[in-house]
Structure 1
Amino acid sequence: MSPELEIFRRKPTGPRLCSNPVVLVHGAFTGAWCWNEHFLTYFADHGYETISFSLRGHGGSGGRNVRSLASIDDYVEDLETVIDTLGQIPILIGHSMGGYIVQKYLEKHPARAVVLMASVPPEGLLANNAMMAVSQPDLFLQMFWLQAIGPHTLLRDRLGRAMLSNDVASDDGMIYFGRLETESHRALMDMAGTNPVFLSPTDLPPMLVIGAKRDEIVPSEMVHHTAVRYDADYILLDHIAHAMMLDTHWQDAADNVLDWMKKNLTREDDSAKNKSAA
């Protein structure tokens, strides 16, 4: 059973473009706050009901005392709990670890559409971590220390450059970095390959996969591999790093998602109407 979860919900501020709500799933070390900075309200202002929530042990959700024991399957249960309150099949947007959680959710549940942003690939991060250890040992070591001691100021410069573009104001970057928290050891092990994703491209809803050219955490080459694996639409964003919902060019990421949803959801709706009319 999920602990009490921190949930934020925004109704469309104008005409509703889609009856399906957008559920935003955050990545490792963060909470619902990463979506609340920009995306939650921006999507509501563009006609979508939006929901963000903090996984157990994160942000304002319960379960902090046992966070290190939470598995990816536990996080999927949290997502199920939130979706059960909606009464509609959701549009799912997952970032990084959140993208992995979304993929695991899709093994057993439907979705109206899916967007994976800088997502952990279906095979997990074992290969990615090995490449990082060889090619970027300084970043690999600092990721280790982030998990061991949390967001210490001594880690900010290198990790900040990996997560956010250089043109993000240092004050904003420091505020965001200071809100990070350690992640579940068990969930990290799951993403290292002990709980891989099993999805067939033929059974998936419309899917968009977004990579960031400056991403050093989940490199764009690995994100592109995920798009190919699922036969999904793929967008590579310039001038943006891993935490694309917080970056200076966050609106570029948001607008690409909104444009894709408007095009694909409208196309799917028109197709359904034509079939019913026939």
Structure 2
Amino acid sequence: MSPNTDVIFIHGLWIHSSAWQPWLDLFTEQGYVPSAPGWPGDLDTVAATREDPSGLNDIGISEICHHYADLIDGLDAKPLVIGHSFGGLIAQELLAHDLVRAAVAIDPAPIKGVKALPFSQLKSGLPVLGNPANKKRTVALTAKQFRYSFGNALTDEESDALFEAWTIPGPGRPLFEDALATFVRHSPATVDTHTAVRGPLLLTSGTEDHTVPRVVTVAVSKLYADNTASVTEYHEYEGRGHSLTMDHGWRDVATDVLDWLGAKGLAPAVRQTAEPVG
């Protein structure tokens, strides 16, 4: 087995790290050594974090990045990183700083430089951005808000089940930092898309995503276009929404990621063919 088989999964806003468990099981089967550490302030379980989310108050993008950078520093070799939503933004920052060998950013929160702001993205952020006081505290989504932001491509029944299983209150600060990134010179949402010499990056988008619409991820991809020294690729999932890492079709996405890693020479020697289900 390759000695560099560590994979770190980074969750996004409003979702607990334990939602990655099916991915952890699959990647373990394929010979990787995966882990899904939570954000600074997350507690061990969904229930515990819902009961006391105060550790997440005023946690921003920089704190999250430094948290994962410190975890990576304790490893024997640079890992791979796979992030969803804000986790996808963090994954890009870690990659740009050459802390990881490769990154997959699934429906990633926009980095500085993206001008597109579709209505659905604005509406998805309103539970936080609608009140400036939310910048320093956590905010929980309602089931109805989750259906719009995450579960719009699902049945109401599946969306509500995911809401009950995996949602936690999320810190408001990252959303405010991202929303104001264009106007802040040293925004924590800044990623070196132009000159960083780094490992390969895969950006993905669900075409029905309300939280990070397709046009936003396409705009992120274009920011990397002039960086010919490093590989950046883009992939779409037709008809999928922001829940694509944890809904009934998660394995299709995970299998594509495994295949991409294999194509980049980043698979363990013992990796088996992972067939999608359904």
Question: Contact 1:22 / 1:50 at 8 angstroms: preserved in 2?
Answer: yes
Give the corresponding residue for 1:93. 82
Counterpart check, 1:116 vs 2:105: yes
Question: Contact 2:105 / 2:202 at 8 angstroms: preserved in 1?
Answer: yes
**Secondary structure in 1 aligned to 2:265?**
helix
Aligned equivalents of 1:136, 1:69: Cα separation in 2: 22
Counterpart check, 1:246 vs 2:232: no
Moved more, 233-242 or 198-207: 198-207
Structure 2 unmatched ranges of 5 or more: 226-231, 270-278
**Secondary structure in 1 aligned to 2:105?**
strand
TM-score by length of 1: 0.76
Aligned equivalents of 2:125, 2:192: Cα separation in 1: 29
Aligned equivalents of 1:117, 1:157: Cα separation in 2: 23
Give the corresponding residue for 1:54. 38
Give the corresponding residue for 2:199. 205
Alpha-carbon spacing, 1:235–1:107, altered in 2? closer, same or farther (3 Å): closer
Number of residues of Structure 1 aligned to a counterpart in Structure 2: 244
Give the corresponding residue for 1:188. 175
Higher helix proportion: 1
Give the corresponding residue for 1:151. 141
Question: Contact 2:9 / 2:34 at 8 angstroms: preserved in 1?
Answer: yes
Question: Contact 2:128 / 2:175 at 8 angstroms: preserved in 1?
Answer: no
Question: Contact 1:29 / 1:181 at 8 angstroms: preserved in 2?
Answer: yes
Question: Contact 1:94 / 1:102 at 8 angstroms: preserved in 2?
Answer: yes
Aligned equivalents of 2:7, 2:84: Cα separation in 1: 13
Alpha-carbon spacing, 1:17–1:175, altered in 2? closer, same or farther (3 Å): farther
Amino acid at match of 1:215: D
Question: Contact 2:83 / 2:106 at 8 angstroms: preserved in 1?
Answer: yes
Deviations 1:88-137 (CA, angstroms, capped at 9, x unpaired): 10111111111111223334333211111000122178853xx32xx687
Give the corresponding residue for 2:63. 74
Residues 10-29 of structure 1: pairs in structure 2 closer than 5 A: 16=1, 19-29=4-14
Pick 1 or 2: higher relative contact order, CA cutoff 8 A, min separation 6.
2
Q: Give the drift of 1:149.
A: 5.3
Aligned equivalents of 1:161, 1:249: Cα separation in 2: 18
Aligned equivalents of 2:156, 2:79: Cα separation in 1: 34
Question: Contact 1:17 / 1:47 at 8 angstroms: preserved in 2?
Answer: no
Amino acid at match of 1:151: L
Alpha-carbon spacing, 1:238–1:17, altered in 2? closer, same or farther (3 Å): farther
Residues 140-179 of structure 1: pairs in structure 2 closer than 5 A: 141-142=126-127, 150-152=140-142, 156-164=143-151, 166-167=153-154, 170=157, 172-178=158-164, 179=166
Question: Contact 1:114 / 1:205 at 8 angstroms: preserved in 2?
Answer: yes
Structure 1 unmatched ranges of 5 or more: 1-15, 270-278
Aligned equivalents of 1:97, 1:40: Cα separation in 2: 19
Aligned equivalents of 1:126, 1:28: Cα separation in 2: 21
Alpha-carbon spacing, 1:139–1:112, altered in 2? closer, same or farther (3 Å): closer
Aligned equivalents of 1:137, 1:209: Cα separation in 2: 21
Aligned pair partner of 2:214 in 200, 214, 220: 220
Over the aligned positions, Cα root-mean-square deviation in angstroms equals 3.0
Instruction: Report runs of 4+ in structure 1 exceeding 6 Å deviation.
Output: 145-148
Aligned equivalents of 2:151, 2:110: Cα separation in 1: 21
TM-score by length of 2: 0.76
Alpha-carbon spacing, 1:141–1:242, altered in 2? closer, same or farther (3 Å): same
Give the corresponding residue for 2:274. none
